[in-house]
Amino acid sequence: MNTHESLPTLGGVNMNDDFIPLSVPFLGGNESRYVQECIETNWVSSVGDFVNRFEDMVARYVGCSHAVATVNGTAALHIALIVAGVGQDDEVIVPTLTFIAPASAIRYVGAWPVFVDVEPVYFQLDLVKLRAFFEKSCHFEGDNLVNNDSNRRIKAIIPVHILGHPVDMVELNKLARYYNLIVIEDATESLGACCGDIKTGNLSSIACFSFNGNKIITTGGGGMIVTNNGSWAERARYLTTQAKDDPLEYIHNEIGYNYRLTNIQAALGCAQMEQLDHFIATKRQIAARYQEHLGQIEGVTVAGEAPDRFSTFWLYTILIDPTITGITSRQALQSLAAHAVQTRPLWHPLYSLPPFSNCQAIDIVQANHIYERALSIPCSVSLKPSEQMLVIEHIQQLIRTGGLCRKST
Ligand SMILES: Cc1ncc(COP(=O)(O)O)c(C=O)c1O
């Protein structure tokens, strides 16, 4: 999901000086100074002050008592599933409209994703459909919830706060408590978002963040597990550092993983954390400007914010209805690319991808609808208001002319 890596495949986007990228990092704080400090002190690998400092900063920010830094968000999800006790042939509920990583991590531990649709307004896990599935298609065997269809135990739910907007965690936690399910938040896209006044990452038993190149803060690549459960945190730290029982004699009593973040990456993370509140305020300003200028266009739906939830608007996404505007989201992507504006569709709904062809999918309607119409548009922290107005004008013109606008010379 690194925007830079995927540039050449994005519909021949015109990368001249006026190029407006979708979402790129802003490294204008103490990043160079802290990385230089790692080089000068020789602490460049997976142990060092910045790793501890970065963990403390994220834990304090989110409000959790423990944080364990990892090489990326996918590794964080993998370890979170293991420490939560999800294993072979368990089932885990996950939304079908998300980046693939949480579903892949479920498969890493031998468990099976059960894909659930998303609601149409904020594109988050549809809790009405989820409740109906539990009520109509599952039963209890002792304390365990069992899927009537597969006869497998449903062990956990992974709500994914996509695009920086939180899932309704009050309702989700009620459901999880009633059905005796563990909740593992995929908060990778939502650092700084809140339900009420509680931050995502602190709304479940264990949660994961990602700091890849396009996230609201970046360490190049990186992730973090956060939890209030001390023994889970200790186990996560053990598993992410090769399960070393005696580091001197190289005694390992189980298979671990080489999943720790390096000090250099953590140095970037510390500098990025110092700027996070500013990044969020900027993303919200960008969102407000899009809402103001695109919100009135018939056939275009702008992203909003649910009551009692606080979105970071990490990745700003609009829907384009081709039956009203005369153009599809993919035609809009091509047309904007010709104007050197990078945009991107949302993820292909996971339930219909080959690796998940034998997984169950529950009443998927909205995810398909959103996937066809969605377009994420430029929202880097460094996006200048004048650049954003250009993007807005291109989109307005595109819709006015039914997609027939051409780059002016
Ligand atoms: C929803 C979601 N989950 C998990 C990940 C995985 O994070 P990473 O790329 O750091 O492995 C990402 C980001 O790429 C994501 O968007």
Relative to the CA of 77, which ligand 1 atom is closest? Answer: 4
pLDDT in tens, 242-289: 999 998 999 999 999 999 999 999 999 999 999 999 999 999 999 999
**pLDDT band of 3, cuts 50, 70, 90:** very low
- Which one-letter DSSP state was computed for residue 134? H
97 conformational bin, left if phi > 0, alpha if psi -120 to 50, beta if neither: beta
How high is the pLDDT of residue 403?
A: 62
Query: Residue 94's closest CA among 48, 20, 22, 157?
Result: 157
How high is the pLDDT of residue 124?
A: 98
Relative to the CA of 75, which ligand 1 atom is closest? Answer: 11
User: What average pLDDT does this structure show over 154-158?
Assistant: 98
CB-based burial, 39-76: b 16+ in 10 Å, e otherwise: eeeebeebebbbbebbbebbbebbebebbbbbbbbbbb
| Rg value, the chain, Cα | 22
Query: Residue 356's closest CA among 64, 189, 116, 119?
Result: 116
Cα separation, 78 vs 185, whole angstroms: 12
Residue % of the chain over a pLDDT of 90: 92
How high is the pLDDT of residue 46?
A: 84
Q: Is the pTM of this model over 0.85?
A: yes
Cα separation, 240 vs 254, whole angstroms: 12
User: What average pLDDT does this structure show over 295-323?
Assistant: 97
Instruction: Write the residue with the smallest CA distance to atom 4 of ligand 1.
Output: 101
Cα separation, 389 vs 387, whole angstroms: 5
pLDDT in tens, 21-48: 999 999 999 999 999 999 999 999 988 9
Instruction: Write the residue with the smallest CA distance to atom 1 of ligand 1.
Output: 99
The least confident of 181-190, 222-231, 235-244, 400-409 is: 400-409
Query: Residue 213's closest CA among 225, 203, 204, 223?
Result: 223
Q: 22 and 376 in contact (C-beta within 8 Å)?
A: yes
Query: Residue 68's closest CA among 82, 84, 52, 81?
Result: 52
User: What average pLDDT does this structure show over 306-313?
Assistant: 97
**pLDDT band of 402, cuts 50, 70, 90:** confident
Instruction: Write the residue with the smallest CA distance to atom 8 of ligand 1.
Output: 73
Cα separation, 27 vs 160, whole angstroms: 27
How high is the pLDDT of residue 7?
A: 44
How high is the pLDDT of residue 15?
A: 63
User: What average pLDDT does this structure show over 173-187?
Assistant: 98
**pLDDT band of 2, cuts 50, 70, 90:** very low
- CATH T-level assignment (fold) for domain 7-26+276-400: Aspartate Aminotransferase, domain 1 (3.90.1150)
**pLDDT band of 14, cuts 50, 70, 90:** low
Task: Give me ligand 1 centre to Cα 77, in Å.
Answer: 9
Task: Give me ligand 1 centre to Cα 191, in Å.
Answer: 12
Counting ligand 1 atoms within 8 A of each CB, the residue from 98, 99, 346 with the most, and so the one to mutate, is: 99
Counting ligand 1 atoms within 8 A of each CB, the residue from 189, 219, 314 with the most, and so the one to mutate, is: 189
Query: Residue 25's closest CA among 270, 195, 272, 391?
Result: 272
7-26+276-400 and 31-274 share one CATH topology? no
Residue % of the chain over a pLDDT of 70: 94
Is residue 178 exposed (0-12), middle (13-18) or buried (19+ Cβ within 10 Å)?
exposed
- CATH T-level assignment (fold) for domain 31-274: Aspartate Aminotransferase; domain 2 (3.40.640)
Counting ligand 1 atoms within 8 A of each CB, the residue from 5, 94, 118, 210 with the most, and so the one to mutate, is: 210
CA atoms within 13 A on the CB side of 258: 3
Task: Give me ligand 1 centre to Cα 42, in Å.
Answer: 30
Is the per-residue pLDDT at 407 higher than 90?
Answer: no
User: What average pLDDT does this structure show over 324-329?
Assistant: 96
Tokens of 389: 């107005």
Domains of the chain, by residue range, sit at 7-26+276-400, 31-274
Cα separation, 159 vs 351, whole angstroms: 16
First to last CA, the chain: 32
Q: For tokens 């986007």, name the residue.
A: 13
User: What average pLDDT does this structure show over 292-306?
Assistant: 97
Task: Give me ligand 1 centre to Cα 188, in Å.
Answer: 6
- Ligand 1 binding residues, C-beta < 6 A: 1, 72-74, 98-99, 101-102, 160, 186, 188-189, 210, 212, 223
